[in-house]
Amino acid sequence: MADDQLSRVFAALADPTRRDMVARLAVGDATVGELADPYDVSVQAVSKHIRVLSDAGLVSKSKDAQRRPCHLEAEVFDLMTKWIERYRQQAQERYERLDAVLAEMRGDEQPTHPGNREQGAAS
Amino acid sequence: MADDQLSRVFAALADPTRRDMVARLAVGDATVGELADPYDVSVQAVSKHIRVLSDAGLVSKSKDAQRRPCHLEAEVFDLMTKWIERYRQQAQERYERLDAVLAEMRGDEQPTHPGNREQGAAS
DNA sequence: GTTGTATTCAACCAGTTAGTTGAGAAGGAG
DNA sequence: CTCCTTCTCAACTAACTGGTTGAATACAAC
């Protein structure tokens, strides 16, 4: 895996167990032990999962005696959403442009606006 | 890696090279060779990357003689966006509720609406 | 101080991944 | 038919992942 944050965030969420933990942290903070409870893997394995989430910046840990309450850092989601939206939108615009070209080829365009050419549609 | 689609999509995008390919496919379809060109890895390696994207449903391939033009399937992005938005929103609501509780503890609430209690704020 | 609880560290293992090279397969062009 | 291009399959390797167990740390409670 690459070491940039976006890669780490995507990689962290590629595991269903970790996504499940994020889901549970969305309803409220929880300690490592509490998070480990529902799964039949060792606490150490869960601790590792949390470390991955933490390295990705998705989760922060505080201290309460021996406990390590985990807190979801939801702002990191924006990093992904921005990346996704950028290319989703770009692709969508391209389809719309393509549709416009196809419509023009079919002669579908409304002749009410004679100057309304598609800008750069064929580039 | 788990075999559900959401996991495959996240895993596919956890690699910067693959994200870069998605970015390029967002501006227009491209063959395997065209996609391979900018990178100094073998064409076979790129072919494998495309297979990962394809298995995740992010990319589809068609046939043009020996060429395999790749096309971005942007709808799959929605799968991720939905998952992310769900938990981001849930976490955000929790913070807002917490803010409301804190405000109430400080006596910040406007006394203009005597019946306006926070519903379930302490649950 | 000793015991118990919560968490992490360290070493190890099996399975996967991202890359390599070499050999096809499939199709257009001379 | 032969050659060249484009792409994939197969086998191999190095590095990473997700899990294990056992030991160590840190703290609270008795």
Nearest to B87 by CA among A39, A116, A81, A42: A81
Q: How far apart are CA B16 and CA B115, in angstroms?
A: 53
Whole-angstrom Cα distance, residue A90 to residue B13? Answer: 17
Task: Look at domain A5-74 and name its CATH class.
Answer: mainly alpha
Of A21-25, B44-48, B70-74, B101-105, the one with minimum mean pLDDT is: B101-105
Contact B90 A26 (CB under 8 A): yes
Q: Class of the B5-73 domain?
A: mainly alpha
- Min Cα distance B81 → chain A (Å) is 7
pLDDT tens, A59-100? 999 999 999 999 999 999 999 999 999 999 999 888 888 777
**Residues in B touching A120 (Cβ below 8 Å):** none
Query: For B2-11, B68-77, B111-120, which range has the lowest pLDDT when averaged over its residues?
Result: B111-120
Structure-block tokens of residue B104: 């109430």
> What are the boundaries of each domain within chain A?
5-74, 75-107
Between CA A35 and CA A19 the distance in angstroms is 12
Check pLDDT > 60 for residue B60: yes
The Cα A30–Cα A48 span in angstroms is 15
CA of A45 to C1' of C13 (A): 15
* Structural contact between residues B52 and B12, judged by C-beta atoms closer than 8 angstroms: yes
Instruction: Name residues 93-112 of chain A within 8 A of B (Cβ).
Output: 94
Question: Which of the residues B3, B18, B19, B29 would you substitute to probe the A interface, choosing the one with the greatest number of A C-beta atoms within 10 Å?
Answer: B19
Residues of A in contact with B22 (CB under 8 A): 87
Chain C: positions less than 7 Å from a protein CB are 4-10, 16-23, 25-28
Residue with tokens 């933490």: A54
